Amino acid sequence: MSTDRIAGTPSLTPRQEDILRAVVDRHISSGQPVGSKHIVGVGGLDWASSTIRNELHRLEEEGYLKHPHTSAGRVPTEAGYRYYVDRILPRAPLPSTGTDLARTVGTDLARVEVHQTLRRLADAISEVTDLLGVVTGPPVASATVRHVEVLLLQPQLVAVVVITSTGDIAKRLFAFDRPVDPGLVDWAAAFLNDRVQGLAVGAHGMPARLADPSLGPMEQGFIEAIAPALVELEEDRAVYVSGQARVLTEERRREMSESNGLVRALEERYLLLAVLRGAVEGSRTYLRIGSELPAELSGVSIVAAGYGPPRRNLGAVSLIGPVRMDYAMAIATVREASHALSSYVEGVYG
Of all residues in the chain, the percent with pLDDT exceeding 70 is: 83
Three-class HEC string of 306-333: EECCCCCCCEEEEEEEECCCCHHHHHHH
More confident site: 14 or 166: 14
- Inform me whether the pLDDT recorded for 260 exceeds 70: no
pLDDT at 110 over 50: no
218-232, 270-284, 330-344: which is most confident: 330-344
What does the pLDDT look like over 284-313, one tens digit per residue?
889 999 999 888 787 889 999 999 888 778
Rounded Cα–Cα distance for residues 19 and 129 (Å): 25
CA 179 to chain centre: 46
CA 18/CA 14 separation, integer angstroms: 6
Report the alpha-carbon distance of residue 281 to residue 163 in Å, rounded.
Answer: 27
- The pLDDT assigned to 185 comes to 95
Give alpha helix (H) positions in 67-214.
Answer: 78-83, 101-105, 114-129, 182-196, 206-210
For 169, the 3-state DSSP assignment is strand
Helices 270-281 + 259-268 axis angle, to 10: 90
User: Over the stretch 22-47, which tens digit does the pLDDT of each residue have?
Assistant: 999 999 998 889 988 888 877 777 78
Q: In the prediction, which pLDDT does 45 show?
A: 78
Res. 268: pLDDT tops 90: no
- Mean pLDDT, to the nearest integer, of 55-60? 92
- Among residues 244, 271, 256, the alpha carbon closest in space to that of 325 is found at 256
Task: Tell the CATH topology of 101-138+237-349.
Answer: Beta-Lactamase (3.30.450)
CATH architecture of 141-231: 2-Layer Sandwich (3.30)
What band does 251 get if pLDDT is binned at 50, 70 and 90?
A: low
Which residue spans within the chain are E strands per DSSP? Answer: 65-66, 75-76, 132-136, 145-154, 157-164, 169-175, 239-242, 286-289, 300-307, 315-322
What fold characterizes domain 14-91?
A: Arc Repressor Mutant, subunit A (1.10.10)
Higher pLDDT, 25 or 2: 25
* Cα separation, 113 vs 168, whole angstroms: 8
How far is the CA of 268 from the CAs of 17, 239, 287, 293, 317, in angstroms?
40, 11, 22, 17, 18
Q: Is the pLDDT of residue 328 over 60?
A: yes
pLDDT tens, residue by residue, 140-158: 666 788 899 999 999 999 9
Average pLDDT, the chain: 83
The more confident residue out of 100 and 254 is 100
User: What are the residue ranges spanned by the domains of the chain?
Assistant: 14-91, 101-138+237-349, 141-231
